[in-house]
Structure 1
Amino acid sequence: MAATVERVLILVTSGPSTPARCAAPFHVATLLACLDAKVTLYLTGEAAELARPGVAEALYADPGGAPVIHFIRQAHQIGARILLCRKPPPPGQSASPPVTELIAEVEDYGSGGELATMILEYERVLSL
């Protein structure tokens, strides 16, 4: 009997104000992907800043450790999918175009509807 592939959604909410927490979601994603899980990381809230060039390169979870971009790249290289939350426009404003300058590891934008569907359909949901 073939093993079932576990789908894991990791909601990433930590950003530049909490650098000590920024590497963990990507490290966990790498470990899970090494165990053949299908992993999606969804950057939302302050974590959306990690998708901007230069931000994750300048953040360190541990003094003297690797920059957060190292953990993002590891997760992506092993097969984890990285999505960025598409923020709705502020009330009374029309939708602005999405940010086009993103790190290469971010594969696409995700909507609230897509997030809700993943939460209901994936076998595991983590918030890190």
Structure 2
Amino acid sequence: MSDTAIQRVLIVVNSGPSTPARCAAPFYTATLLACMDAQVTMFLSGEAAQLARAEVADNLYAATDGEPVRHFIQQAKSAGVRLLMCRAPGVVIDESSLIPELDEIASGGELAQMIIEYDKVLSL
């Protein structure tokens, strides 16, 4: 990037186990943006919140004979991407089943605030 201010990018991830072919792309995109010096936050919303569960992330593949989604999550984290998961009202979360790459469990209100504040918002 140029000498301008750092771009803050929010990626709202909605794809989950029912659409495995779509699950790696948001993390790949986040990794690329972070490598271009963007400050990237990913927010796992709806079905995508299941990607924060180790059992899902380790056993879900976007492509036959490809890497599990966890591989793409780890690449994004290595590039400095922040990973949040939506806290659904009334849903009990077993935090011991979550991946260590997850930075925070956040609310829909926090998502709304980020949408207003960030420079770019993508929904993937």
Query: If the length of structure 2 is used for normalisation, what is the TM-score?
Result: 0.93
Indicate the percent of aligned positions where both proteins have the same amino acid.
Answer: 59
Partner of 1:103 in structure 2?
99
2:55 partner SS: coil
Q: In the alignment, which residue of structure 1 is the partner of 2:76?
A: 75
Q: Report the count of equivalent residues.
A: 122
Q: Whole-Å Cα distance in 2 between the matches of residues 56 and 17 of structure 1?
A: 13
* 3-state secondary structure, aligned to 1:55: helix
Consecutive aligned runs of 4 or more in structure 1 exceeding 4 Å deviation = none
Separation (CA, whole Å) in 2 of partners of 1:65 and 1:53: 17
Higher deviation after alignment, 17-26 or 52-61: 52-61
User: 1:61 and 2:95 equivalent?
Assistant: no
Q: Which runs of 5+ in 1 are unaligned?
A: 90-95
Deviation at 1:97, TM superposition (A): 4.9
Structure exhibiting the larger radius of gyration computed from Cα positions: 1
Whole-Å separation in 2 of the counterparts to 1:98 and 1:58: 20
Shift of 1:50: 0.6
Q: Displacement of 1:6 after TM fit?
A: 0.3
- What CA RMSD, in Å, does the superposition of the two structures yield over aligned residues? 1.4
Instruction: Specify every segment of 5 or more residues in structure 2 that has no aligned partner in the other structure, as ranges.
Output: none
Partner of 1:119: 115
Q: In the aligned structure 1, how far is the partner of 2:93 from the partner of 2:53?
A: 12
- Relative to the length of structure 1, the TM-score reads 0.90
Higher normalized helix content (fraction of residues): 2
* Partner Cα distance (1:85, 1:57) in 2: 20
